[in-house]
Amino acid sequence: MAPTAKTLTYLAQEKTLESSFVRDEEERPKVAYNEFSDEIPVISLAGIDEVDGRRREICEKIVEACENWGIFQVVDHGVDQQLVAEMTRLAKEFFALPPDEKLRFDMSGAKKGGFIVSSHLQDWREIVTYFSYPKRERDYSRWPDTPEGWRSVTEEYSDKVMGLACKLMEVLSEAMGLEKEGLSKACVDMDQKVVVNYYPKCPQPDLTLGLKRHTDPGTITLLLQDQVGGLQATRDNGKTWITVQPVEAAFVVNLGDHAHYLSNGRFKNADHQAVVNSNHSRLSIATFQNPAPNATVYPLKIREGEKPVMEEPITFAEMYRRKMSKDIEIARMKKLAKEKHLQDLENEKHLQELDQKAKLEAKPLKEILA
């Protein structure tokens, strides 16, 4: 491996996985990247604006998917396919750049946006991310300036995906018995973050993950993925996993923690992860629509006979802080448990060695030398 390697470009050429990426056995993939399932609904949005037409049927399918999985796919969504193709092309060209060129946008040191390798320390992925909403807060210095055309295409892409997200949120608002803009208003001043994920081929994909298991903290996420496969979901707390079937020109829609709480738990927050493989690199573009930091997180409507899933209203910033603190504590406890297990094994080995030594010392010399 080249000593100056700071991206996965070199690591992907190795025959074995670098130890820092190896996950504990219980975290490793249980289902292959291309063992596809059709359990996640694929919903056509054609006719969603027809009040007296297909709108009711479409809305019912979306609501059912949110109640069962918190994840579904949409086609006929109105986002121009040429725009999607251009966004995908530019993303591929960015990750094909030499490491030094990508690292010009290095986001280490708490920079808001840019390029980074291996988020969450063990994830086998490279990402480039930037914040596109609120528009007044865009920091174009953190947006890549190569390949040519990145800024103009991604601006348009961000706008179109935001429009689609708001349309889907209208459906969920109506299902909750709110006005169409109910969820959008609860976000106060919606934030949008675009994360372009690149998962290189991995020498030992069965030992690691492209992206660890998690739920998104925000309101709604729209994911554009290629046809390789690798997005996985669970709805039984990780006992069983399915690999989401890639669908040409579709967006995968994930609901996050914020939507889960606003619906008083009615809508699931999608529990998901990404796996990698040794045959193909994979690209996906996630667009996260999140509430403003000062937005209130609390059920917008509580149905008769239900209790609120939250003890008190809190801000989204506080909700996010608690989520991160919980994740850090879980990781700490896992590390302690692992260290204790290793120490127990070492102690057991030492006792076996002492026992063996005692047995040898108890034998007559003739038997030991026989």
Domain ranges of the chain: 6-310, 312-361
What CATH number is given for 6-310 in this structure? 2.60.120.330
CA-nearest of 329, 328, 291, 330 to 313 is 291
Task: Please give the model's pTM, rounded to 2 decimal places.
Answer: 0.88
pLDDT tens readout for residues 93-113: 999 999 888 888 888 777 788
Whether the pLDDT of residue 360 is over 70: the answer is no
pLDDT value of position 50? 85
**SS3 state of residue 118:** coil
Whether the pLDDT of residue 350 is over 80: the answer is no
pLDDT tens readout for residues 54-84: 999 999 999 999 999 999 999 999 999 999 9
Return the DSSP state at 79: -
The DSSP H or E segment spanning 187 is none
pLDDT tier for residue 228 given thresholds of 50, 70 and 90: very high
Crossing angle between the packed helical segments 150-175 and 81-95, to the nearest 10 degrees: 120
| From 130-139, 186-195, 321-330, the region with the lowest mean pLDDT | 321-330
pLDDT value of position 2? 42
The strand pair at 211-214 and 220-225 is best described as unpaired
Whether the pLDDT of residue 3 is over 50: the answer is no
Whether the pLDDT of residue 186 is over 50: the answer is yes
CA distance 281 to 275: 11
pLDDT tens readout for residues 230-274: 999 999 999 999 999 999 999 999 999 999 999 999 999 999 999
Residues of the chain with pLDDT > 90, as a percent, come to: 71
pLDDT value of position 86? 97
pLDDT tens readout for residues 31-53: 999 999 999 999 999 999 887 78
Beta carbons of 69 and 272 less than 8 angstroms apart:
no
CA-nearest of 193, 234, 198, 244 to 213 is 234
Higher model confidence: residue 143 or residue 264?
A: 264
Whether the pLDDT of residue 121 is over 60: the answer is yes
Crossing angle between the packed helical segments 55-68 and 150-175, to the nearest 10 degrees: 90
Cis amide leading into 364 (omega within 30): no
Structure tokens at 42: 């694929």
Beta carbons of 258 and 218 less than 8 angstroms apart:
yes
